[in-house]
């Protein structure tokens, strides 16, 4: 097998849009970065443009989204869609500059970010890629959520979610994650919420940028978004997309088969921490 090298993007690319929670317009630029930089967010709206490295060590909140923060007090909310796109595209090193704390929600999926990376192009670098691998199973279980990480030569996710006695029922999907499969099968899948939960968030002053155009909104078992489902099992696919992003908080490309039942950001990040702490986690 040929040695795979680290990658950055070939040129800077930009994207603007509304942030989900704050409702403010955000300008985001991805820029090439040197070997071994990793994924680094820069807050250009703060003095000195402080940086936050995308790594499990800097995760400070996993309620509804994944938030990272640095000792400088700079923080970035909802990094998972960007991280998923970078992980799937095998981009190891990049600077992500933002003039706010939260990236644009776009259409609620990772698709726009993956297309942005495609637009930038991939630049191979002069250092071997780093992988998280394991030679023994790793387990996480808590309150009905289970994640099992198994040895594998590829990156694969098999996921089950359930919505109780609703028309959505139980959903399952399994996929070997490659740039091509992610773009086709996971990237387009949007975030989702129950109408009552969205209404509560809006009443609490959150989800100011949320709308029926950037989420799959469910009400009494029906989809009331302006666009119907992109896949019959779009919800489980979105959970898998989030997982691709959260698992990149290892700081390495993942080669393992992750089996997940009812996952979320808390279980994803806790699993990442266990992956990093495991004896065989760094090879």
Which active-site residues does the annotation give? 265
Would you call 82 exposed, middle or buried from its count of C-beta atoms within 10 A (0-12, 13-18, 19+)? buried
Judge contact between 19 and 26, C-beta under 8 A: yes
- Number of other CB atoms surrounding residue 200 within 10 Å: 13
Closest CA to 44 of 30, 62, 60: 30
Distance, C-alpha 12 to centroid of its chain:
21
Closest CA to 102 of 19, 45, 28: 19
Closest CA to 157 of 143, 137, 178: 178
Hey, is 24 helix, strand or coil? coil
């Amino acid at each position: 097998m040929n040695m795979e090298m680290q990658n950055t993007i070939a040129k800077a690319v930009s994207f603007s849009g509304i942030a989900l929670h704050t409702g403010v317009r955000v300008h985001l630029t991805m820029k090439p970065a040197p070997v071994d930089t990793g994924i680094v967010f820069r807050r250009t709206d703060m003095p000195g443009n402080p940086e936050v490295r995308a790594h499990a060590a800097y995760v400070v909140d996993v309620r509804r989204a994944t938030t990272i923060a640095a000792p400088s007090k700079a923080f970035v909310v909802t990094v998972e869609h960007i991280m998923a796109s970078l992980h799937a595209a095998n981009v190891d090193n990049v600077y992500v500059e933002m003039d706010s704390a939260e990236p644009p929600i776009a259409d609620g999926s990772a698709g726009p970010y993956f297309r942005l990376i495609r637009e930038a192009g991939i630049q191979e670098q002069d250092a071997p890629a780093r992988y998280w691998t394991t030679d023994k199973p790793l387990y996480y279980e808590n309150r009905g959520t289970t994640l099992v990480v198994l040895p594998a030569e590829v990156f694969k996710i098999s996921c089950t979610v359930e919505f109780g006695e609703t028309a959505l029922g139980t959903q399952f999907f399994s996929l070997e994650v490659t740039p091509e499969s992610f773009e086709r099968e996971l990237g387009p899948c949007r975030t989702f919420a129950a109408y009552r939960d969205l209404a509560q968030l809006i009443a609490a002053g959150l989800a100011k940028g949320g709308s029926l155009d950037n989420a799959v909104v469910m009400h009494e078992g029906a989809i009331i978004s302006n666009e119907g489902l992109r896949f019959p099992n779009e919800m489980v696919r979105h959970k898998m997309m989030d997982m691709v992003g959260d698992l990149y908080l290892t700081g390495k490309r993942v080669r393992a088969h992750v089996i997940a039942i009812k996952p979320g950001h808390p279980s994803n990040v806790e699993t990442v921490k266990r992956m990093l702490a495991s004896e065989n986690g760094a090879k």
